[in-house]
Amino acid sequence: MDILKYCKREEADPQYMWDLSALYKTEEEFEKAVHTIDLMADDFKKNYENKLKSADIIKNAMDDYRDIVANIDRIAHYASLDVEADGHNEKSQKRAMTTFTKIADIENKMSFFETELVQVDEQTLEEVKNDTNNTRYIDDLLKKKEHILSKEVENVISKFSQTFSSFYEIYNTTKIHDITFPDFEVNGKKYEMTYNLFEGVYDNDPDTDLRRKSYEVFYNELAKYKNTTAMIYLSHCQAEKAESELRGYDSVIDFLLDRQNISRELYDRQLDVIMQELPKHMRKYAQIIKKEYDLDKVTFMDLKLDVENSFSKNISVEDARNLVKDGLSILGEDYSKMLDRAFDEKWIDFVNTFGKSTGAFCASPFLAHPYVLISWTGKLTEAIVLSHELGHAGQSYISQKTQNVLDNDPSMYFVESPSTTNELIMSRYLLEKATTDQERRYLSGQIISRTYFHNFVTHFIEGYYQREVYKLIDKKEGFTADDLSRIFKETLQKFWGEDVEINEGSELTWMRQPHYYMGLYPYTYSAGLTIGTQVSKMIVEEGKPAADRWLKALALGSTEDSVGIAKAAGVDITTDKPLKDTIEYIGKVIDDIEKYDK
């Protein structure tokens, strides 16, 4: 069976589909687990509400709380991953809706816990913190004490949690189910169009007629849904603003950054330094693309093109497995064993099926193992994408061995560091193996067009745009689809200047990104890659000492903030030096692309 062929889920090759039985073997086992967790929450409320009077009672409550949270995480992943794999499956959709309604109810029963815990006297909490499993949680709770509301208000907010989180689900439903694209014709040949085909195949196809026509068809259809999508996003932002005000924040941005345990200074610096110093390098890269493809002008539709496209190779899943293992072997034997498990135990979903979520991601349920979703295109670059997602898997796999469920996830600011570190280790490995200047030029081009374009351009522009949107929200101003398109287009123009034509439709790119429903996520890609660039360089140059340092840093989970984890890996992000060094490295790679062309 052809893994590259789009088909219904039931027609796809099971060999290349993930296996969710590590979560629950049967539907009955899953339903029993949901019922059991509900009973556990009832017992938790009965045993601990208004009874957190001593360190021993609180320690017992913390143990039970962690147990419930871990099991909630497991049922949530089982319900959601099935929908991510096949959003057209009505049974999976109903299961997910029922499950998340039940989870909201369970969490509401437990909403008293933080409110009561933060009122306990300091001496008792210090005793609770003597158990290291509780230390980070209690410390973080006390930091946000002033923003925790009365038990009654927290209970009401908890009641609305499913409503607040529904905006992402509505967006995703519109994107996956309601938006369909017509087939299109180029030079007498018909092509089908889907989100995954556009983002994975057409947007960087070397055939200019095909590529530009696909953009036209894609964005023309997308435009029909712009007002609905804008209203969903506005409602989401207004809900965030309302909660931020209830909790005493002057700015929704500060409210969202507090969740990441990151200062406004680091956030603004990431966006402002990149906008100031990166465009000159990327504009130079755009001109390389123009020359490479003999274009009369460079448009937004041309920016995803590869350098030395004729060198591009196809690769099977099996060959990609070997390549990723070899490339990441510098991370040690245990890491290699984890990679083997990922393939042997079917952690990864490769197939191209209708209704499958776009892009690629890694999910990390606490009581099982990570899962990776990717739509395999057969290109060599997929091995690098795979190494990226397995970087996320490696972080959770390592931290879950040493941290409890409340301490295993690092701050969002750091979360893209393990993935991008893997990408760059792989890219450097492939460069070392290269035997010709053409191959070196192609691989250098991939470093820019994939790793850095994705994280330091695409997601950076989204992050810069997102900050402007939240400024409107902070001023109590609403926005329309046209407002969002204007802000996005202005951001593109500020970055690309006169070197790239921002063609009609490009301004609707804000519609394509689900990360806007996940807080201040987009800017963290460049933040994570800043750390990843420095760490990968140290690992390649120093070898085992740097790799060991990195693995120990990954094991920290959330017991350290992003500054602390980066420091443990040997990177000081309290200054702008790592960021400026990374931008300088981007410029060097672009210079290499020119050098290898001679």
How far apart CA 513 and CA 577 sit, in angstroms, is 30
Q: Let me know if 50 is exposed, middle or buried by CB neighbors in 10 A (0-12, 13-18, 19+).
A: exposed
Q: Helices 264-277 and 459-474, interaxial angle, to 10°?
A: 130
> What is the model's pLDDT at position 4?
80
Nearest partner of 353 among 373, 375, 372, judged by Cα: 375
Torsion of CA 96, 101, 104, 110, to 10 degrees: -110
In a domain, 246, yes or no: no
In a domain, 168, yes or no: no
How far apart CA 380 and CA 320 sit, in angstroms, is 8
Q: With helix as H, strand as E and coil as C, how does 87-144 read? A: CCCHHHHHHHHHHHHHHHHHHHHCCHHHHHHCCCCHHHHHHHCCCHHHHHHHHHHHHC
> What is the model's pLDDT at position 313?
82
Distances (CA, A) of 310 to 112, 204, 297, 441, 573: 61, 13, 21, 11, 39
> What is the model's pLDDT at position 358?
82
For residue 271, the one-letter residue type is L
Domain count, the chain: 1
The boundaries of the domain holding residue 94 are 9-159
How far apart CA 549 and CA 568 sit, in angstroms, is 7
Q: Which secondary-structure segment (H or E) carries 186?
A: strand 184-186
In a domain, 241, yes or no: no
Question: Domain of 61: which CATH number?
Answer: 1.20.140.70
| pTM for the structure as a whole | 0.93
> What is the model's pLDDT at position 1?
57
For residue 169, count other CB atoms closer than 10 A to its CB.
Answer: 18
Helices (H), 247-380: 252-260, 264-277, 279-292, 317-327, 333-344
In a domain, 448, yes or no: no
In a domain, 65, yes or no: yes
In a domain, 88, yes or no: yes
In a domain, 143, yes or no: yes
Contact 377, 32 (CB under 8 A): no
Structure tokens at 358: 């776009």
In a domain, 140, yes or no: yes
Taking only the tens of pLDDT, the chain with its 598 residues reads 578 888 999 999 999 999 999 999 999 999 999 999 999 999 999 999 999 999 999 999 999 999 999 999 999 999 999 999 998 899 999 999 999 999 999 999 999 999 999 999 999 999 999 999 999 999 999 999 999 999 999 989 988 988 888 999 899 889 888 899 999 999 999 999 998 889 888 999 999 999 999 999 999 999 999 999 999 999 999 999 999 999 999 999 999 999 999 999 999 999 999 999 999 999 999 999 999 999 999 999 999 999 998 887 889 999 999 999 999 999 999 999 999 999 999 999 999 998 898 889 999 999 899 999 999 989 888 899 999 999 999 999 999 999 999 999 999 999 999 999 999 999 999 999 999 999 999 999 999 998 999 999 999 999 999 999 999 999 999 999 999 999 999 999 999 999 999 999 999 999 999 999 999 999 999 999 999 999 999 999 999 999 999 999 999 999 999 999 999 999 999 999 999 999 999 999 999 999 998 6
